[in-house]
Every structure is written in structure tokens, then in C-alpha cells.
Amino acid sequence: MRTGVTAVVPHPGNVFRERPRAACYVFNGYGKSVGLPQLAELGVLETPILLTNTLSVWTAANALVTHALERNPEIGSTGGTVNPVAGECSDAYLNDMRGRHVTEADCLRALETATGGPVAEGNVGAGTGMSCLGFKGGIGTSSRALTFGSGDFVLGCLVLANFGRLADFRLDGVPVGRELEAAGWPDRPPGPPATVEEERRRVPSRERMPAGPEEPPGGSIMIVVATDAPLTSRQLTRIARRTTFGLARTGSVGAHGSGDFVLAFTTADLEPAYPSEPVLVRRTLVEDDRHFGPLFQGAAEAAEEAIINALFAAETVRGRDGHERKGLPVEQVIEILRRRSPSGYRG
């Protein structure tokens, strides 16, 4: 059992009654997320977001409904229904996913114990059994502080990283994955680095083949973007799309079997479920290069850094049937960056 659940709670109030404006962007729809059609149609979140493994996503959605019903007695009686939003990635290589070990109680506990402040990364929550770019993956976060005009805003990003092959892994533009493959990773112990060409001659080509049928090269990623900038759902969609540039920088090519989903929301000017007036007045950020340029750049950078942080934070895990996913060999990666990084990496 190598699995879990991660809760993203937009604000400490009642999310059903005070709804964040939100958007979703599906880069590759190979996934089983719940609630995205209504989110795209109405542009608001009605529940927190839960992330878990593929075969537990419906358990997570059910828990979100339970959570909302307990706090809103009008749902399904005097009021309307509720739209739960849950996302998933497959942790089947390390986890007995058929056992569906994530329970509704686990999901409710995640919702009830969510706190602000620094977010745990690596092998935590939904990230417990995930793999990324040939290594142990999981949860990663990053953020950017933005100042433009008279406003100061923050854009944060959380990822559930579970995609890609070792050969595709890039960091700061350096083909780190290929360098590690050429050095015989993971079979060769750490040692003085050789040149890529020297090691390619040493390592038989069969050892550099892509993953076999047991480990398809697809995988998936869930990206959650949160900001306090006053944005419409359409504007949030534009920002969500830019996270895929950060995803690509780490080595993703959007493989056939990779479900790549982005959820974005703002905590500014929450939408009331029961407005007292028929017309709402809302702030909206002006759409020009001075304002959206930093948001676009921040979204791309934060997504890239969150994925890298997930890799650096994750540790080796042994899972079902003796499968093992090793953590990133940090010292070797740093040495490769020092030799190859165009920005002169200093560690």
C-alpha cells in the first residue's frame, strides 16, 4: 500500500457558499478527473480539490459531497446540488491500486486537517506512490510574488508529478536524464562523472531502451494554480495554459498515456452562492503585457520549479511486488549541473 490523498482548500470558509472563480485546462485528457465540465461551464469551485490515485478518485468525490452536505443542509433539498472536483494520477507501479485503500475517512481527514503555511513535499498524500521522470515523484510546490501597478499579488502552484522517462529529464536546460543514463544509473554507484560519449560507448544500447510494457512512458500530472489576483474564469484559463510550458521544460512531451490537467482558482472576490442582488460588481485585472506578462511567466516558472521540488524532496520507495522507485541522486545531479548548466549553477 503506497498511496494517499492531498486536499487543496482554497480558503478557510465555506467553499460551497463562498465560491472561488476557477478554470480548468486539459492538455491531454487521458485521466479520470471528476467535476471538470461544470467547473468549465460556470467558472467557480463549489468544493475544495482532492487529489489521489486513479481508482480512488470516485471515493474522493464522494467524500467531497459528504463534506459539503454536512456543512450545507440545503444541498439536495431546498437548494441545488454540489459539484465535487477531484483529480488523479496512477500510482500502480508502487501501490496495490486494485485494493482501493484510500477511504472516505482518509479524504475527510485530509480536508479537516488542511492548514496554511509551507506545504509538505515528496512522498506525502497523493504523492506517496507516484513516479516522475524515472525517479520517485510526488507532491511539489512553488510560488511567485508579483508586483505591478498598485498591487502586490501571489501565484502559487502545487503539482502531483507522475510522468515522463528518465531519458527526457531536463533541469535548467541540461539533459540530466541522458547524463545519468550514460553513467549507468541506477546500476552504477556514484563516482567521478564521465563524458556522455564515453559512457554511451560503455553502456549497451539495450540498457538505454524506453520502459517496457510494465512501465509505460506516459504517467500523468495534476497541476493546481492558486492566486489572489482578481481574475475571471477566462483569464484563469489563459494562465493555466502557461503552466504547460514549465511542464515541457522538465522533459514532458505529453505522451499518449499522460493525463495532463490544470486547475486554477483565485481567492479574490469570492462568488456568493446566494447573492442578495441580481448584479454583482467584481474587480478584473486589466489584460495587457504589463500585468499578464508577469502572471504568465510566474505560472510557467512555478510549475517547472514545483516539479523539480517534488523530485528533490521525494525519497526511495519500495512498493508492491518488490517494485522500487529510487529517489533523485541529488549529488550526482548537482555535479552534472555544475559541469553543464548554461547559467553557471552554483548549488
**Domain with 264 in it: what CATH number?**
3.60.70.12
Cell numbers of 247, please?
511542464
Q: Is position 78 within any domain?
A: yes
- Backbone torsion region of residue 240, taken as left when φ is above 0, otherwise alpha when ψ lies between -120 and 50, otherwise beta: alpha
- Backbone torsion region of residue 343, taken as left when φ is above 0, otherwise alpha when ψ lies between -120 and 50, otherwise beta: alpha
Mind telling me the catalytic residues? 220, 258, 260
| Cα–Cα distance, 164 to 261 (Å, whole number) | 15
143-147, 216-220, 295-299: least confidently modelled range: 216-220
Q: How confident is the model at residue 193 (pLDDT cuts 50, 70, 90)?
A: very low
The answer on pLDDT for 208 being more than 80 is no
pLDDT number for residue 343: 61
Q: Looking at residues 278-297, what average pLDDT do you find?
A: 91
Q: Looking at residues 290-297, what average pLDDT do you find?
A: 92
Is the bond into 10 cis (omega within 30 degrees of 0)? no
8 Å CB contact between 9 and 114: yes
The answer on pLDDT for 274 being more than 70 is yes
- The pLDDT mean for the chain works out to 91
Q: Is position 109 within any domain?
A: yes
Percent of the chain surpassing pLDDT 90: 83
Q: Is position 106 within any domain?
A: yes
pLDDT number for residue 192: 45
Q: Looking at residues 150-161, what average pLDDT do you find?
A: 93
Q: Looking at residues 211-223, what average pLDDT do you find?
A: 67
24-33, 68-77, 260-269, 278-287: least confidently modelled range: 278-287
8 Å CB contact between 157 and 309: no
22-26, 64-68, 202-206, 271-275: least confidently modelled range: 202-206
Cell numbers of 14, please?
465555506
Helix runs in the chain, H state only: 36-42, 57-71, 104-113, 176-182, 196-202, 233-249, 289-313, 330-340
Mode of pairing for the β-strands spanning 317-318 and 259-272: unpaired
Q: What is the pLDDT of residues 321-333, one digit of tens each?
A: 999 999 999 999 9
Percent of the chain surpassing pLDDT 70: 89
266 Cβ neighbours under 8 A, 6+ residues apart: 20, 21, 22, 226, 227, 228, 229, 230, 231, 236
Q: Is position 285 within any domain?
A: yes
pLDDT number for residue 23: 98
Q: Tell me if residue 212 falls in helix, strand or coil.
A: coil
Mode of pairing for the β-strands spanning 49-53 and 85-89: parallel
Give the structural domain span for 50. Answer: 6-165+210-315
8 Å CB contact between 232 and 295: no
Q: Is position 61 within any domain?
A: yes
pLDDT number for residue 194: 46
Higher pLDDT pick, 197 / 45:
45
- CA 334, 316, 111, 158 dihedral sign is positive
Q: Is position 244 within any domain?
A: yes
Q: How confident is the model at residue 97 (pLDDT cuts 50, 70, 90)?
A: very high
Cα–Cα distance list, 228 to 22, 48, 246, 268 (Å): 12, 16, 21, 5
Q: Is position 174 within any domain?
A: no
The answer on pLDDT for 73 being more than 50 is yes
Q: How confident is the model at residue 148 (pLDDT cuts 50, 70, 90)?
A: confident
Q: How confident is the model at residue 346 (pLDDT cuts 50, 70, 90)?
A: low
Q: Is position 258 within any domain?
A: yes
pLDDT number for residue 217: 55
User: Within 10 A of 320 (CB to CB), how many other CB atoms are there?
Assistant: 17
Would you tell me the crossing angle of helices 233-249 and 289-313 to the nearest 10 degrees?
50
8 Å CB contact between 91 and 2: yes
8 Å CB contact between 127 and 3: no
Q: How confident is the model at residue 133 (pLDDT cuts 50, 70, 90)?
A: very high
Cell numbers of 45, please?
469551485
| Cα–Cα distance, 344 to 347 (Å, whole number) | 9
Q: What is the pLDDT of residues 166-189, one digit of tens each?
A: 999 999 999 999 999 998 887 654
8 Å CB contact between 255 and 218: yes
pLDDT number for residue 214: 44
Cell numbers of 104, please?
472516505
Q: How confident is the model at residue 149 (pLDDT cuts 50, 70, 90)?
A: confident
Q: Looking at residues 208-225, what average pLDDT do you find?
A: 66
Give the total number of structural domains in the chain. 1
pLDDT number for residue 150: 72
8 Å CB contact between 54 and 89: yes
pLDDT number for residue 344: 60
